[in-house]
């Protein structure tokens, strides 16, 4: 309740910030996109993790306003980076069910892109498996409309839900993000490797790109490269960083 009351003020007081974590093309090792991850600087509690306030915001409905703020901020930032002449990459934004179930969600996303003067090909939406349990037909229709508008759709945390495989069949995803628990298992034993490898093949057979989440070491990366995983994300490449650190990184790169 404390958090819910304070969240109301968070946007107005400028307490929210987006961090960005690079997603790397495993073949070229170039940055392919950035995932936007929200952070809340609470005046008394300090840095509050999204794990602690996103569920509360979903429950209270505040996720609608927060989600809009995230989308607007991420689109504006990516546009700034494009204008600065940095090799252009996409931005991936996490979306909650409550947002997808809104009547005007597709229109509001398109409007946000137009306001930021950003083409839809630069925006990717990440949807978590658990999100999709709700109202299959209307969510499917919304995802199709977004796709028709040129926005790409990823399934996040793949493999952790009860019905992962049926989602691949029923929804129009462009990309599968393998949950990091599977990437952890790569180092464990052969079965850990085989499961990851099977997810990669399955997704690619269905014409979806594959991203491995939570890559933390060279062994995992080498295996994923050998198995032709398309993209990777994790502390091995970079932690999520504030805008200022991302910009320092680019400048150092040349």
Interacting residue ranges for ligand G, rule: CB under 6 A: 21, 37-38, 49-51, 54, 70, 94, 96, 156-157, 180, 213-216, 233-235, 240
Residues 116-155 close enough to bind Mn ion by CB under 5 A: 126
- Nearest position to Na ion, beta carbon: 157
With CB atoms as reference, the residue minimizing the distance to ligand G is 234
Residue/partner pairs of 215-218 with CB below 8 Å, 24 or more apart? 215/183, 216/183, 217/187
Q: Which residues have a Cβ under 8 Å from the Cβ of 237 and sit 6 or more positions away?
A: 22, 24, 215
Minimum distance from CB of 94 to Mn ion (Å)? Answer: 5
Residues 180-209: x/- map of binding to Mn ion (CB under 5 A)? ------------------------------
Whichever of 54 and 168 has its CB closer to ligand G, that residue is 54
> Which of Mn ion, Na ion, ligand G, none does 118 bind, CB closer than 5 to 8 A by kind?
none
Using the Cα atoms of residue 113, residue 117, residue 120 and residue 122 in order, give the sign of their dihedral: negative
Q: Please, what sign has the CA dihedral across residues 217, 219, 223, 225?
A: positive
Residue 213 in the binding site for Mn ion (CB under 5 A): no
Smallest distance from the beta carbon of 254 to ligand G, in angstroms?
A: 25
DSSP labels for 211-244?
Answer: EE----SHHHHHHHHHTT--EE-STTT---B-HH
Neighbours of 186 (CB within 10 A): 23
The contact mask relative to Na ion for 143-172 (x = CB under 5 A, - = no) is: -------------xx---------------
The option from Na ion, ligand G, Mn ion, none interacting with 51 (CB < 5 to 8 A, set by class) reads ligand G
Q: Which residue has the tokens 């931005």?
A: 91
For tokens 């974590």, the residue is: 21
Pick the closer one to Mn ion by CB: 126 or 231: 126
């Amino acid at each position: 309740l404390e958090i819910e009351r304070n969240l109301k003020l968070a946007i107005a007081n400028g307490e929210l910030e987006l961090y960005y974590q690079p997603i790397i093309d495993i073949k070229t090792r170039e940055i392919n996109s950035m995932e936007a991850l929200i952070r809340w600087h609470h005046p008394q509690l300090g840095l509050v993790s999204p794990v602690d306030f996103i569920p509360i915001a979903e429950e209270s409905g505040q996720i609608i306003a927060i989600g809009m703020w995230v989308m607007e901020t991420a689109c504006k930032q990516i546009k700034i980076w494009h204008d600065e002449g940095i090799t252009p990459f996409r931005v991936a934004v996490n979306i909650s069910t409550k947002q997808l179930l809104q009547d005007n969600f597709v229109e509001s996303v398109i409007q946000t892109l137009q306001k930021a003067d950003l083409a839809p090909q630069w925006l990717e939406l990440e949807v978590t498996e658990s999100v999709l349990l709700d109202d299959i037909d209307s969510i499917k229709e919304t995802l199709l409309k977004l796709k028709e508008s040129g926005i790409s759709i990823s399934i996040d945390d793949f493999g952790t839900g009860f019905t992962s495989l049926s989602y691949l069949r029923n929804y129009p995803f462009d990309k599968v993000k393998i949950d990091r628990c599977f990437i952890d298992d790569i180092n464990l034993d052969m079965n850990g490797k085989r499961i990851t490898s099977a997810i990669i093949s399955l997704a690619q057979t269905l014409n979806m790109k594959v991203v491995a989440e939570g890559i933390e070491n060279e062994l995992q990366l080498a295996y994923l490269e050998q198995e032709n995983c398309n993209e990777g994300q994790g502390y091995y490449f970079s932690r999520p960083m504030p805008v200022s650190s991302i910009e320092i990184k680019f400048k150092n790169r040349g």
